[in-house]
Amino acid sequence: MPMLKFKGIETENLCVISKNLIDELQELIQCPRDYFSLSVDKSVYIKDGEIVKGDPVVEVSWFDRGQEVQDKAAKIITKYIHLLEYPNVDVIFFPLDENKYYENGEHF
Q: What is the pLDDT of residues 59-86, one digit of tens each?
A: 999 999 999 999 999 999 999 999 999 9
Q: List the domain range (segments joined by +) for residue 13.
A: 3-107
Total domain count, the chain? 1
User: CA-to-CA distance for 5 and 39, rounded, in angstroms?
Assistant: 5
Task: Report residue 73 CA to chain centroid gap.
Answer: 9
Mean pLDDT confidence for 83-105 = 92
**DSSP state, 27?**
H
Maximum Cα interatomic distance, the chain, rounded to a whole number of Å: 46
CATH of the domain at 46: 3.30.429.10
The pairs formed by 47-54 with CB atoms below 8 angstroms and a separation of 24 or more are 53/8, 54/7, 54/8
